[in-house]
Structure formats: C-alpha cells, structure tokens
C-alpha cells in the first residue's frame, strides 16, 4: 500500500516520502533535482556535489557501442508453440530438441528485427536485408535462431564478411554511403547475384517487420535420439498478416514523413492486440554432400528448391508483448548462432562457422563479459557454472546446495559436477586436406535467373529501375562488369539494365578499356538511389 493511503505506514520511507520518491542509485532520497550545489545561488559549484555527479556520470555512459551491423532494430516478446510434428511425421524422427516435442507446448521467445547496414537512428525505409533474430528460452536452455528476411545471402565464406560490410557502410573518408563502392565489391563477387536480385526488387524493402518472412539462411543440423543427423533450413512464414513489400517510390513517400514506421507498426499492432504470427517451417535433407544437386547444400547463396525439399510445418510463433524497456530488453539483447540446445547442431556451412565465433565475441565487447547475466540474455532455466568475476558481475551461478568455496571441477568437496546423462552424439567423420579453397558447385547465376523470371512484372520493373539508378553513378567498367554478370543470370536481365544505362550490350563483353579513376579524394556522384 502506498504512503499517504490509509493503513499502517511503510517503515521504508520517512515522513512525506513514498515509493515514488526520487532517489539516487545509493537509495538516498533526492530533495532537490533542479539545482546544482553552489556557493551562493550564482556559483561556483562544488566538487562534492554527489547527487549531480552520480546523475551526470551515469548519463555520460548511457550508450553501449551500437551493433557493428544490424544497429537499427526493434523487438517484442511472445511464444513459440510446437506442433510436435515436422509435416506429417513425428518431429522426434528428426530431432530430440524438447522445444519441438509435445504438441501444444509453448516456449517463451524474444524477437529482434533490424536493418543491417545503417546506424541506430537511420530510417527504416532503406533498402537493406532485414534481420529476424529469435531467442527461444527453452527448457533445455537458450536457442537463438539468427536469420534474415531473405532466404539467401551475398557471400558463402565468412572470410569475406568484413569486406562486404565495409563496402556497404559509408566511405571511410567521406562518411557517405557510396553505390560505387558497393557495386565495385558486388561486381567482383558473382555469388552475390541471387541476393542482389532479391535486394534490389521490392523484396529489399519489406513494408514493415510484421509482413515479412524470416529465414535461418544457413544450413543447420538436427539430431535425433539415436544420434542420427539431417540437414535443416528454417523458415518463418507470416500467417494472418501476410507479406507486403514496397517499391522505391512507396518507400520514399513513407520516409518523407516517418523514419520509425516499422518500429511503430510493430509496437502499435501489439498494443492493439493484433498479434503478429509466423509459422515455423523446416526443409530437411539427408546428411551428405548430395552430388545429384547442382549446388552445395551448405552454400547459403542458394535456396533449396521447395518442390524437392518441401516446407514442413513445425510450429507457430506469436508476438504478444512489447518490451517494458527498449534498452534493457532489446538493445542489450545478444543473439548468436552458437547458442543451440541438445538435438540442434551446426553444419559445416562455412558462413555459419565464421558467424558462430563472431557473435559472442562482439557481445563480450559490446555489452560486456557478463552479458549472459542480464535478464534478457539469461536462460529462464537453472544455470550452474564456475565462472567468476569480470566487469559488472552481480551473481555467481552456483546453487545453495553446492559448496560456495569450490569454483572448479573436478572436486570431491561438493562442487558442481558434469551431467551424467548419456546421449547418443552425432559424430560425423571428417577427413581431407587442410586448404583455403572455394567450394566446387558454385553455380552463381542459375537461381538468380530463376528468381528474376519468377518476379511479377511490377517487381521486375522496380528491380531494373533500382539497379540502373544505383549503377548510374558508378564508373563504366563497374557497370560493364555488373551487366556481364546479370546477363549470365538471364539475358533479358542484363539487357534491360544495359538499356537503362544506355550501354551497348556488345561493349559489355569486351575487356574493360576505360580509364579507372581512383576513389581517393572523391565524393560519390549524385543521382544514385540510396540503399
Ligand atoms: C548481427 C556478424 C552473417 C544475421 C551481427 C553482429 C555481428 C554479426 C558481429 C552484431 C551482433 C551484436 O552486436 O550483438 C556476422 C558475420 C557473418 C554474418 C561474421 C558472416 C560470416 C549473417 C547472416 C545473417 C545474419 C548470413 C542472416 C542469416 C544477423 C542478425 C543480426 C546480426 C539478424 C542482428 C541480431 C540482433 O538482432 O541482435 N552479425 N553476421 N548475419 N546478424 Fe550477422
């Protein structure tokens, strides 16, 4: 009961104070929050002004570094409800992960949606892949599925990720995003054609975060009770809210009025009880190299054709609660591809392997060594570790039943012990020469061509316009290279971009004879559409 209301007085508070009384973080009531402590009412101020120093120095530290990618985002809480099946089969046939067993069981989730390239306060209308990261607080500990809205990615080897991101981020000299730098990189990266075809079409600007798909993109493994593995791709398909994308023109109109439209849309839908829902589907492949396919199942620049590898429904996700505090629950949230539970495993996908190092590495820097102690990142299940100390440590993970003096293992003095549960491990046999080489079945153009032909007319028109506008400010040898790559996807595709740039198709087949202008000291040419 609050002070001032009838009944016994709460002894925690002095006269005229109650639980709404402002305090310092030391618990001292603040009796003057308007004025510095000064000598006379005109100053100078005094150094022992503790209330002020605590207030201002905390303010000075109110930001952690923004995410190096996916800085702009929003999030919501909800649940995942399993169907207990993968398509028509019991899900246990493929995985022993408890999150999928017992039809109807609900697991709490946190989802963070984001754009990739631009900084924290950037407009949400920009052309960019959208992040779709889900943290499942399962009974076996946390599982993170860190995906995007598009089903493929630009590159297939983690070694190239920093270069890709540098090319898309602002120029290190001018601090301006420059489509010449982007297409300089892309025109030298033929595996990006599938992704570029998605990205420059309306699929590169989803109308909002509710009306888009999500995909794990990388290939994972499932492991069943017998230790048998299979290869898996994950896909979230929007249910009642459907899918909606924007043309560049539509996006420009929204951007002129609102650069938080996607955050606002999600927040308001949830506040109004219009909870967005997605169905989680998987595609399954037997666990081997699949020489019969014209692509490698571990290549994230490829989709797995749905007619050969159907989408099997495994459950549904509902977002029904906005965060109580954005910073605590979204900004400090840390997702990573290494966060898997029993029954879910990695594949040898080279991107996935590189990503798995990168996420927790950046989070130890971005949020701090004890980022997993924060409520949003901590599992909702029991945790027992011998980890100690580090900045901002505020608890030890040992239960009262364990000896508090023992922070090592093994011990015969009642310390923590390894689990004695025996599980059948999935034990793939791996052999080969240690090497640094690309994969064999690169097949960089076929799926991009198929994608181009599958687009509706208005989508293809927008794709060509967007590519032409973004290529216009580029030097001609970059334009030529791009047309050469796009023509290998589909001749019509290359030709329409060449026409838009008033380039002769035959010229694009010749060696690049133009003089190449170094970028040093130059500002991006005007006229390209922003990404
Ligand atoms: C965020 C690295 C590829 C989806 C991040 C972050 C890093 C990173 C360092 C910031 C994390 C943080 O500060 O908490 C990498 C590397 C990649 C890669 C090294 C390739 C080797 C991908 C791919 C996808 C993806 C292929 C999509 C399938 C995401 C998402 C986030 C993210 C959704 C934001 C997570 C959040 O909301 O907090 N990535 N990434 N990344 N990445 Fe990647």
pLDDT tens, residue by residue, 485-521: 999 999 999 999 999 999 988 766 666 555 667 665 5
**CB within 8 A of 225, min separation 6: which ones?**
92, 96, 424
Residue 146's H or E segment, with its range, is: strand 141-148
Whether the predicted pLDDT of 530 surpasses 60: no
How high is the pLDDT of residue 257? 97
Q: Quick check: CB of 202 below 6 Å from ligand 1? A: no
Contact 261, 124 (CB under 8 A): yes
Q: Quick check: CB of 142 below 6 Å from ligand 1? A: no
Q: The whole model's pTM is what?
A: 0.94
Q: Quick check: CB of 214 below 6 Å from ligand 1? A: no
Distance (Å, whole) CA 262 – CA 417: 47
Model confidence band, residue 305 (pLDDT cutoffs 50, 70, 90): very high
Q: Token digits for 525?
A: 């040419």
Q: Token digits for 36?
A: 């510095």
Q: Quick check: CB of 352 below 6 Å from ligand 1? A: no
Range 120-138 average pLDDT: 97
Range 362-382 average pLDDT: 95
**Chain segment 239-293, per-residue pLDDT in tens:** 999 999 999 999 999 999 999 999 999 999 999 999 999 999 999 999 999 999 9
Whether the predicted pLDDT of 177 surpasses 50: yes
How high is the pLDDT of residue 4? 47
Q: Quick check: CB of 355 below 6 Å from ligand 1? A: yes
What is the CA(320)–ligand 1 centre distance, in A? Answer: 25
For a mutational test of ligand 1's pocket, the pick from 131, 158, 236, 364, i.e. the residue with the most ligand atoms closer than 8 A to its C-beta, is 131
Arithmetic mean of pLDDT over the chain: 94
For a mutational test of ligand 1's pocket, the pick from 355, 364, 366, i.e. the residue with the most ligand atoms closer than 8 A to its C-beta, is 355
The position carrying tokens 């026409």 is 499
Residue 489, Cα to own-chain centre: how many angstroms? 28
* Phi, psi dihedrals of residue 524, rounded to the nearest 5°: -60, 140
Question: Which atom of ligand 1 is the closest one to the Cα of 354?
Answer: 21
Contact 259, 119 (CB under 8 A): no
Contact 310, 281 (CB under 8 A): no
Contact 223, 343 (CB under 8 A): yes
Question: Which atom of ligand 1 is the closest one to the Cα of 147?
Answer: 28
For a mutational test of ligand 1's pocket, the pick from 70, 156, 164, i.e. the residue with the most ligand atoms closer than 8 A to its C-beta, is 70
ipTM for the assembly: 0.97
CB atoms within 10 A of CB 114: 25
Residue 310, Cα to own-chain centre: how many angstroms? 25
Model confidence band, residue 11 (pLDDT cutoffs 50, 70, 90): confident
What is the CA(7)–ligand 1 centre distance, in A? Answer: 54
Model confidence band, residue 527 (pLDDT cutoffs 50, 70, 90): low
How high is the pLDDT of residue 9? 73
Q: Quick check: CB of 98 below 6 Å from ligand 1? A: no
What is the CA(36)–ligand 1 centre distance, in A? Answer: 44
For a mutational test of ligand 1's pocket, the pick from 73, 75, 146, i.e. the residue with the most ligand atoms closer than 8 A to its C-beta, is 146
What is the CA(195)–ligand 1 centre distance, in A? Answer: 16
Ligand 1, atom 34, lies closest to the CA of 70
Distance (Å, whole) CA 136 – CA 183: 37
Q: Quick check: CB of 147 below 6 Å from ligand 1? A: yes
How high is the pLDDT of residue 506? 75
**Chain segment 94-113, per-residue pLDDT in tens:** 999 999 999 999 999 999 99
Closest CA to 302 of 384, 362, 231: 231
**CB within 8 A of 351, min separation 6: which ones?**
153, 155, 156, 157, 158, 161, 218, 300
Q: Quick check: CB of 363 below 6 Å from ligand 1? A: yes
Sign of the four-CA dihedral 50, 51, 56, 62: positive
How high is the pLDDT of residue 529? 54
Model confidence band, residue 27 (pLDDT cutoffs 50, 70, 90): confident
Q: At what angle do helices 457-471 and 248-257 cross, to 10 degrees?
A: 70
Burial readout 252-280 (b: 16 or more C-beta within 10 A, e: otherwise):
eebbeeebebbbebbbebbeeeebbbbbb
Q: Quick check: CB of 190 below 6 Å from ligand 1? A: no
**Chain segment 423-466, per-residue pLDDT in tens:** 998 998 999 999 999 999 999 999 999 999 999 999 999 999 99
- Beta pairing partners, 399: none
> What percent of the chain stands above pLDDT 90?
85
For residues 527 and 26, the model is more confident at 26
- Cis preceding-peptide flag for 410 (omega within 30 of 0): yes
**CB within 8 A of 432, min separation 6: which ones?**
none
Distance (Å, whole) CA 128 – CA 177: 13
Range 357-374 average pLDDT: 96
What is the CA(352)–ligand 1 centre distance, in A? Answer: 10
Whether the predicted pLDDT of 74 surpasses 70: yes
Distance (Å, whole) CA 398 – CA 386: 7
Q: Quick check: CB of 67 below 6 Å from ligand 1? A: yes
Q: Quick check: CB of 71 below 6 Å from ligand 1? A: no
How high is the pLDDT of residue 525? 67
What is the CA(356)–ligand 1 centre distance, in A? Answer: 9
Question: Which atom of ligand 1 is the closest one to the Cα of 132?
Answer: 33
Ligand 1, atom 37, lies closest to the CA of 112
Catalogue the active-site residues. Answer: 70, 148
Q: Quick check: CB of 114 below 6 Å from ligand 1? A: yes
Q: Token digits for 337?
A: 């591809």
**CB within 8 A of 521, min separation 6: which ones?**
173
């Amino acid at each position: 009961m609050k002070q001032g209301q009838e009944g016994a007085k709460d002894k925690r508070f002095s006269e005229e104070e109650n639980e709404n009384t402002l305090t310092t973080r030391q618990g001292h009531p603040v009796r003057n929050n308007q004025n510095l402590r000064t000598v006379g009412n005109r100053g100078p101020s005094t150094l022992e002004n503790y209330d002020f120093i605590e207030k201002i120095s905390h303010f000075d530290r109110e930001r952690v570094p923004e995410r190096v990618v996916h800085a702009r985002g929003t999030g919501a809480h909800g649940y995942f409800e399993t169907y207990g099946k993968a398509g028509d089969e019991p899900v246990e046939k493929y995985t022993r992960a408890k999150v999928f067993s017992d039809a109807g069981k609900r697991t709490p989730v946190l989802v963070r949606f984001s754009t990739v390239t631009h900084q924290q306060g950037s407009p949400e209308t920009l052309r960019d892949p959208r992040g779709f990261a889900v943290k499942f607080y399962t009974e076996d500990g946390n599982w993170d599925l860190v995906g995007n809205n598009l089903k493929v990615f630009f590159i297939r080897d983690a070694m190239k990720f920093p270069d890709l991101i540098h090319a898309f981020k602002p120029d290190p000299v001018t601090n301006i995003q420059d489509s010449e730098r982007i297409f300089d990189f892309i025109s030298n990266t033929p595996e990006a054609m599938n992704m570029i075809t998605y990205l420059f079409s309306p699929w590169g600007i989803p109308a909002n975060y509710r009306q888009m798909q999500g995909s794990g993109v990388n290939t994972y493994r499932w492991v069943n009770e017998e230790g048998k593995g299979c290869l898996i791709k994950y896909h979230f398909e929007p249910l009642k809210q459907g899918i909606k994308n924007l043309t560049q023109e539509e996006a420009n109109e929204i951007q002129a009025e609102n650069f938080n439209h996607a955050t606002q849309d999600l927040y308001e839908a949830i506040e109004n009880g219009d909870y967005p829902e997605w169905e989680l589907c998987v595609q399954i492949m037997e666990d081997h190299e699949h020489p019969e396919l014209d692509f490698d199942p571990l290549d994230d620049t490829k989709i797995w054709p749905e007619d050969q590898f159907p989408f099997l429904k495994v459950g549904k996700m509902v977002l029904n609660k906005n965060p109580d505090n954005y910073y605590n629950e979204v900004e400090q949230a840390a997702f990573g591809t290494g966060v898997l539970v029993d029954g879910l495993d990695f594949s040898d996908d080279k991107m996935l392997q590189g990503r798995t190092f990168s996420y927790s590495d950046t989070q130890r820097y971005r949020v701090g060594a004890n980022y997993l102690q924060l409520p949003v990142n901590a599992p909702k299940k029991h945790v027992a570790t011998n980890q100690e100390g580090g900045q901002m440590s505020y608890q030890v993970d040992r239960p009262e039943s364990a000896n508090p003096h023992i922070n090592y293992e093994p011990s015969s003095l009642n310390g923590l012990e390894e689990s004695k549960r025996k599980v059948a491990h999935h034990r793939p046999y791996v052999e080969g020469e240690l090497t640094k080489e690309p994969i064999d079945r690169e097949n960089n153009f076929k799926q991009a061509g198929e994608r181009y032909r599958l687009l509706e007319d208005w989508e293809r028109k927008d794709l060509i316009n967007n590519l032409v506008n973004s290529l216009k400010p580029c030097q001609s040898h970059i334009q030529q290279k791009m047309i050469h790559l796009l023509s290998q996807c589909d001749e019509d595709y290359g030709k329409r971009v060449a026409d838009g740039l008033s380039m002769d198709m035959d010229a694009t087949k010749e060696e690049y004879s133009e003089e190449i202008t170094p970028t040093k000291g130059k500002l991006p040419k005007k006229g390209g559409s922003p990404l």
